[in-house]
Amino acid sequence: MAIDPKHLIQLTEILDCQSFTVAAERLNTSQPALSRMASALEAQLGAPIFTSRRNPVTPTTLGTELASYGRSIRAATEQTSKLAERVAAGQQGELRIGAPPFHSQRVASGFIASWLQRHPEIRIVLQNGYAPTLLSQLVEGHLDLIMAPVDVIEGIPNLIVERLTRGENVIVCRAEHPLLAEPKITPEMLSQARWITHARDSLLNRDTRLALTAVGVDYIDLPAFESNSAGAMNAVMENSDMLTVLPDLIAGDMVEMGGYAVLPFRLPGPYRPFGYITHEARQNPALLAFREGLSIDIAKAYDRARDICERALTRAG
């Protein structure tokens, strides 16, 4: 025997108000409609649920027990409605974000931490990866937004793309690196240096090779350490005279935080503008708020980072 949960909620309201008339006003219905509901419920159960329908309405033991279930259903319904309202307002939910390793460590994590303070009921899942893999996961529906070089998009429909930086790469080293004392950095010096390289499936690995080759540096045998871990690469660079190539947004942040420097040697392209990519089908208030905050935060961070890098590169002429 299935009892309509709505009828149990209505019964609860009648007993709480001790009146069919008052309950009808609260439920935005009529007193006759509630009376018919009560009679139909008694017929369905084959037992009375009221000892008296006159005010104050008095329930039987069965009526009291049914009303207790009605209160639980009413409370759950109210909580569900409040949850739906918070989700619709972008105040609660889950966002799945993807970013490359260095961006996760230097850009995404800081922004996410401050954003979550303003949106405490949103849960964020951050996944590290390189642009091609992240893009596939976005298209397949496993991620809601990725931070990545936005020029990786080729003919994929229904994507929303916002460019946030120019994406110039620079050479980064520890702050006390011997080359920083040189009046002018030459390709020969770079050829003699030891290098940290990014994982082979990353666009930055490919771009580093192209840029150094373009200025006459034979890159084939230069890398002494390769990793997809930003933390490991930072630790090696901090404790050695190895060099690496990073986007200006990341490099500027590292210099600003201390311990690192941008080598005064301007690399040629390719430049890969950095931004975010999301899918039209997965837009919701929380994601829209995240996108807006990200655009503002990255723009400010990039202005600072670009100024730091440009001051260092000015020495290169």
Q: Mean pLDDT throughout 291-311?
A: 94
Residues 113 and 248 in one domain: no
Supply the range of the domain harboring residue 112: 93-166+273-306
- Among 40, 66, 88, the domain-final residue is 88
Structure token digits, residue 71 = 């209160």
Between residues 154 and 199, the one the model is more confident about: 199
The pLDDT of residue 220: 63
Residues 197 and 255 in one domain: yes
- Among 88, 117, 132, the domain-final residue is 88
Residues 110 and 203 in one domain: no
Dihedral sign of CA atoms 161, 124, 113, 289 in order = positive
Between residues 84 and 135, the one the model is more confident about: 135
Give per-residue pLDDT as tens, 204-233.
989 999 999 999 998 766 789 998 888 999
Q: Mean pLDDT throughout 247-273?
A: 93
Residues 137 and 280 in one domain: yes
Give per-residue pLDDT as tens, 166-178.
889 999 999 999 9
Residues 104 and 162 in one domain: yes
- The CATH number of whichever domain residue 289 belongs to comes to 3.40.190.10
> Structural domain tally of the chain?
3
The pLDDT of residue 97: 97
Q: Mean pLDDT throughout 106-131?
A: 91
Tell me how far apart the alpha carbons of residues 102 and 199 are, in angstroms, rounded to a whole number: 12
Residues 112 and 148 in one domain: yes
The pLDDT of residue 276: 96
Residues 114 and 68 in one domain: no
Q: Mean pLDDT throughout 256-283?
A: 93
Residues 173 and 160 in one domain: no
The pLDDT of residue 152: 77
- Among 47, 72, 88, the domain-final residue is 88
- The CATH number of whichever domain residue 19 belongs to comes to 1.10.10.10
Supply the pTM of this predicted model: 0.72
Residues 20 and 63 in one domain: yes
Pairing of strands 145-149, 93-99: parallel
Confidence of residue 90 (pLDDT cuts 50, 70, 90): low
* Closest residue by Cα to residue 298 from 154, 145, 194: 145
Residues 160 and 287 in one domain: yes
Residues 131 and 202 in one domain: no
The pLDDT of residue 316: 61
Confidence of residue 1 (pLDDT cuts 50, 70, 90): low
Residues 190 and 230 in one domain: yes
